[in-house]
Structure 1
Amino acid sequence: MTEKSATKLPPISSKRFAILGIMLLCLVLQIINTLPGINLNDLGILPRQLSGLSGIFFAPFLHGGWAHLFSNLVPFAILAWLVCQYSVKRFWLVFVSTALLGGLLVWIFGRSNIHVGLSGVIYGLWGYLICYGIMHRSFKAILISIAVVILYSGLIWGVFPQRIHISFESHLFGAISGAFIGYLFAKRDKQHLR
C-alpha cells in the first residue's frame, strides 16, 4: 500500500466509519451465525447467569435472523447519524454507555431468555436524543429532538411487553440508559456554556 492510498482510509473519528463499521460487523456476524453448527447467539445476555454476563458486550452485534437484523439497520443508521451531529466522539460514548448500562440492566432484571440485537442501543440513541434536546434547550438540540419524536414516536410502544420473542427489556433499559446519559451530557454541556 502506498503512502498516498493509506491517507485515503477513513479515520476512526469519521461518521461513516462509526456507523457503517458497526453495521458491517452485525452483517458479518449474522453471516457467520447462519453457517451450519454455529450459534453465536449463545453469546447473548442471559440474565442472572454468570455465563451470560459477557453477553453485555456481544448482544448488540448479534441478531435472531435476517429479518431481525434488517429491521434494526435503518433506525440505527438514522439515529446514529443524528447523534454524530454533535460529534463522533459523542456517538461512541453514547453507543458504548447505552450498550453497557442497558445490557447490565437487562442482565439484572430481564426474563431468563437469551437477549440479542441492536435494538437496545437504538432505543438508547432515541432516549439520548430526546432527553438531551429537552434538557439542553439549544436550537440544534431541540430541532434534532423534534425530528426524532416525529420520525420515531412509534418506538414508545416497544418498551412494553408485546410479543414473547421480542426483548422489550432491551428496549426499555436502552431507552432509560440513553435518557440518563442524555441528561448527564446536557447538564455538563450547559455548565461549559456558562
Structure 2
Amino acid sequence: MADYGGQAPRTQASRARRGLVVLGALTAVLWGIQIVNVSTGRELNFLLGNIPRTLYGLDGIIFSPLLHADFSHLLSNNLPLVVLGFLVFLEGVRRFVAVLASSWLVSGVGVWLTGAGLTVGSSGLVFGFLTYLLVRGFYNRSWKQILLAVVIFMFYGSVLWGVLPTPGSGISWQAHLFGAVGGVLAAVLLRKDSRRRNRRVGS
C-alpha cells in the first residue's frame, strides 16, 4: 500500500488555488470581451458568433463561447461555469483542459451542424462540465464522485431540461445538448487514464 502522508491534501489545496486563479481569469476575460462587445453594438456576435452551416460562421465554433447576447446572459452562465469548472479543475489541469476542450468543440460543431441561427454563449461549456461531473463516478467506479454527483444534481439537475427543444425561447438547446454530449464523451475517454492512475497509487 502506497503511503503519501500529507502529499494528497497539499496537492488538492494547490489545485484549488490554481483553479480559483484560472476560473477567475476566465471570468475576467469573458467580462472584458462583453464590455468591448456591448461598446461596439454587439458587432462581435455577428463577426465571431456560430452561424450554422455557413463558411463564415465556422470560426464561431471557436469564438462563440466567449461571446454573450447581453450582461444578464453572461451573468446567468458565469456562476455555474465557475462553480462546476472549479470542481472539474480539482482533478488536475490536464483533465480540466480535456473536459473543456471536449465540451467546447462538440457543442460548437453540433450547433454549426444543427442550429437554427446565430448562437453565442458559454452554456455549452456549463452543460459539458455538469454532465462530466454527473457521470464520471460511474465510469471511474468512485463512490465519492457518485455522492458528489448526487449533490450537484440536487443543485443543478433541473437545468438538464435545457437539452430539450424549446420553440420560441431564443435559447439554443443544441448548444446545451451537444455540450452535455461533450461532457459525457470526456468522462468516457478519461476513464482509462483514471483507472491506470488508481492502479499505480495502490499496491
Using structure 2 for the length normalisation, give the TM-score: 0.84
How many equivalent pairs are there?
183
User: Is residue 36 of structure 2 the alignment partner of residue 32 of structure 1?
Assistant: yes
Counterparts of 2:153 and 2:93 in 1: how far apart (Å)? Answer: 22
Q: Give the match for residue 149 of structure 2.
A: 145
Q: Give the match for residue 4 of structure 1.
A: none
Cα gap change, 1:148 to 1:90, in 2 (>3 Å): same
Cα gap change, 1:144 to 1:85, in 2 (>3 Å): farther
Q: Shift of the alpha carbon at 1:37?
A: 4.4
CA RMSD of aligned residues (A): 1.9
User: Is residue 125 of structure 2 the alignment partner of residue 133 of structure 1?
Assistant: no
Question: Equivalent pairs: percent with the same residue?
Answer: 36
Q: Give the match for residue 74 of structure 1.
A: 79
Whether contact under 8 Å (2:106, 2:181) holds in the other structure is no
Deviates more, 1:172-181 or 1:136-145: 136-145
User: Is residue 198 of structure 2 the alignment partner of residue 180 of structure 1?
Assistant: no
1:13-35 deviation per Cα after TM superposition (whole angstroms, max 9, x unaligned): 91122211111111011101111
Q: Shift of the alpha carbon at 1:176?
A: 0.8
Q: Give the match for residue 16 of structure 1.
A: 20
* Letter matched to residue 184 of structure 2: A
Counterparts of 2:101 and 2:37 in 1: how far apart (Å)? Answer: 23
Long gaps (5+) in structure 1: 1-10
Q: Give the match for residue 91 of structure 1.
A: 96
Q: Shift of the alpha carbon at 1:38?
A: 4.8
Whether contact under 8 Å (1:133, 1:145) holds in the other structure is yes
1:39-79 deviation per Cα after TM superposition (whole angstroms, max 9, x unaligned): 11111111111111110111111000011000011111110
